[in-house]
Amino acid sequence: MIIKAGDCRLPIWLEPPSRGKANLPRFCPTEHRGTIVEKFRLHLHQHPEIPFNNVEGTHLTADEIHEGAVSDMYHYCHRHDLPQVWAYMWNCWYNPQQWLLWARSACAEIPHLKATMICESTLRVIKHQDLALFNRPQLDLVTHVIIKHLLPRSSYNLATLLGKWQQGRGFTLTEWQKDFCSAWKDMSHPDEIRSTAKELEWMYKPKKTKGHAEQLAEIRAGADRPAGTYHTDISRWTCSCPAYLISQFLTCKHIVCQVNQRLNNKPLTDLEFFTKL
């Protein structure tokens, strides 16, 4: 229906056209999501201090990493006709202003924290423990809580970590040091033992477990894969292997093996090594 108002012609739909879910364009088809996430994770972890996995062990600059990441993501989206995905990636992640907020290569040194979880955890403690009885508290109250409650707890935790609290007692490993110690001992085992243990772990799980067959196939394929040659430098604590790039503790089995050889396997028997590391 057309309504005329002078020289203007206004189209009016008596019943607006229906646009069901099936008629809407797909933002990102399922078959591309895994690849895009893997590319994003690789771009997140790259850093000028981490050598590239090639013959020369090339170190890319921060600008080269950013340029390569943008080019990689753009050409993948262009090749598979994903303009909406590229628009989202550029506006929210890959433009120069946003890149500085999340990419590891934006820092001069390699940061071992990948998110704002430490700040969020601190705010959660203040909100649910110190300010649980207050709704939208005033700034002076929040300042008082931080000075009288949060700072003393933080000082106590810091003194405990530095060994200045209850001096004379032995050091105790923190939770993350215990996890690091466990991971270190696991990476100290030969590849055959680690592969066999992982395969047995998945074999004993129910067959209905999600990804059961895929995990077993991947483990068995990895056992037959020849060992690679990587650029490992324990003086700079870097390695060009893929496992180091995404490691929680910035380490890998190549670094662990070299350190164990250098120290005559002392890390496997001396817990003090992990308190000082």
Distance CA 72, CA 270 (A): 45
In the chain, the number of structural domains is 3
| pLDDT given for residue 67 in this prediction | 96
Q: Which of 82, 106, 130 is the last residue in one of the domains?
A: 106
| pLDDT given for residue 3 in this prediction | 63
Residues 263 and 207 in one domain: yes
Q: Which of 83, 106, 129 is the last residue in one of the domains?
A: 106
| Ranges of the chain with pLDDT below 70 | 1-6, 10-24, 165-172, 223-225, 227
Helix (H) or strand (E) holding 37, with range, is helix 30-45
Residues 154 and 200 in one domain: no
Residue 180 lies inside a defined structural domain of this protein: yes
Residue 7 lies inside a defined structural domain of this protein: no
| pLDDT given for residue 64 in this prediction | 95
Residue 20 lies inside a defined structural domain of this protein: no
Tens digits of residue pLDDT in 21-44: 666 677 888 899 999 999 999 999
Residues 147 and 194 in one domain: no
Residues 248 and 216 in one domain: yes
| pLDDT given for residue 11 in this prediction | 66
Residues 193 and 271 in one domain: yes
Residues 232 and 193 in one domain: yes
Helices (H), the chain: 30-45, 62-79, 83-89, 96-102, 117-125, 139-145, 151-161, 175-188, 191-203, 212-224, 242-245, 253-262, 272-276
| pLDDT given for residue 252 in this prediction | 92
| pLDDT given for residue 174 in this prediction | 75
Which residue range is the domain that position 203 belongs to?
A: 175-276
Task: Give the Cα-Cα-Cα angle 198, 201, 203 (nearest 5 degrees).
Answer: 110
Quote the tokens at residue 105.
């290569």
Q: Please choose, from the candidates 73, 16, 86, the residue with its C-alpha nearest in 3D space to the C-alpha of residue 44.
A: 73
Q: How many residues does the structure list for the chain?
A: 277
Q: Which of 64, 79, 106 is the last residue in one of the domains?
A: 106
Residue 5 lies inside a defined structural domain of this protein: no
- Partners of 233 in the β-ladder: 238
Residues 153 and 237 in one domain: no
Q: What is the pTM of this model?
A: 0.71
Tens digits of residue pLDDT in 114-143: 777 888 888 888 888 888 888 888 999 999
Residues 249 and 269 in one domain: yes
